[in-house]
Structures are given as C-alpha cells and as structure tokens.
Amino acid sequence: MRNTKWIFKSENFKSINSNIDKEIEQILFNRGIESKDEVEFFINGTLENLMNPSLLSDVDKGVERILKAKENNETIWIYGDYDVDGITSTSLCYLALKELEINVRYYIPLRDEGYGLNKEALNYIKEEGGNLIITVDCGISSISEVEHCNTLEMDMIITDHHEINNELPPAFAIINPKREDNKNSYKYFAGVGT
C-alpha cells in the first residue's frame, strides 16, 4: 500500500477545528465552507437543515412524471453506473420507489459497456417494457442517447451531478445541482445526493 501525501491547494487555508481531519477541512474550505460555524453546520446538520429539493430545476416536473407512472402502473427503470456513486444512487432510488409501491427495475452497465448511457441498454429496457428511465449519476452529456430514448417513446429523468459542458440533452426532466437556473447556490452534491 502506498503512503499518500496530501498536497493542499490553498495557501489561505488554516485549520479551525481540531476535531476534524485536516483533509476534510481542506475539502470543505475549497467548497466555500470556511468558518467554524459553517463547518459545524455542514458536519452536524439536521433534517430540518436540508435544502428544499424544489429549488433544483425540474424536480417538481420529475416528481409529477413519477407519480403519473405510478398511477398508470408503468415500470420505471433506474439507470446507474457501476462505480460506487452509481451503485449507491441506484440502490437508494430503488428502495425509495419500492417504498412508494412503484414498479421499478434497474440497469447497471458492465464495465465493458463503459460509463454512462448506451443505446443497446436503452433498447433492452424498451424490450423489457420500460416506460420511464431515471438516470442516477449519469446522463448530463448523453445527448444522442437521450435522443435515441425519445425515438423509443420512453421518457427520461436525468439526475446527475457532473459538470455541464454542453447543451442539455432533450430529456423529460434534468436535475443537476450545477444547472445555472437552479434556485439554490450549492453545487457539490454527489450523485446519490442528487
């Protein structure tokens, strides 16, 4: 096992809380969480402190589509990735939808399929009776794959936290904390948080 030497990016960083690892404090500092009170709030916040999810663009639109799928007894497919964020995102979304008594299945691509959406998987989901796909931790840069999904007459709700480097794909709803039109300013959710 290699010993990792952490290199701190900011010369302005000074540790303010001896109860937290310096590396964690540095990450928080890099994300604009700098005061002792802000660090305490971030680490020990309560459910009442959580952001209203409706402040993220398209959340309400996505929720309405999910409720319509439940009402119409449609099958919702969760499309994740095979990394830790993708698997935890898929698991959490699956458990939540099951709790709501929604017909739900999931698809996690094999490594040789690569990261993100792929058209063969979308064809498979359609053949298996999929009506609605919710991506978790992927999809924000998958323009041609979302267009393909649309030609298959399936709706897609994208939940992703990655950088938006192009135009948004033509999905039914796109939930990403990095969207400029969100009504909140916090952009550092993991995929599972989104």
- pLDDT tens-digit map of 162-187: 999 989 999 999 999 999 999 987 78
pLDDT (tens digit per residue) in 42-99: 888 888 878 888 999 999 999 999 999 999 999 999 999 888 888 999 999 999 999 9
Interior angle at CA 127, CA 122 and CA 128, nearest 5: 95
More confident residue, 4 or 154: 154
Indicate whether this model's pTM tops 0.85.
Answer: no
H/E stretch holding 157: strand 155-159
Contacts of 86 (CB under 8 A, 6+ apart): 80, 108, 136, 137, 138, 191
State which fold the 53-175 domain adopts.
Answer: inorganic pyrophosphatase (n-terminal core) (3.90.1640)
What are the residue boundaries of the structural domains of the chain, listed by start? 10-48, 53-175
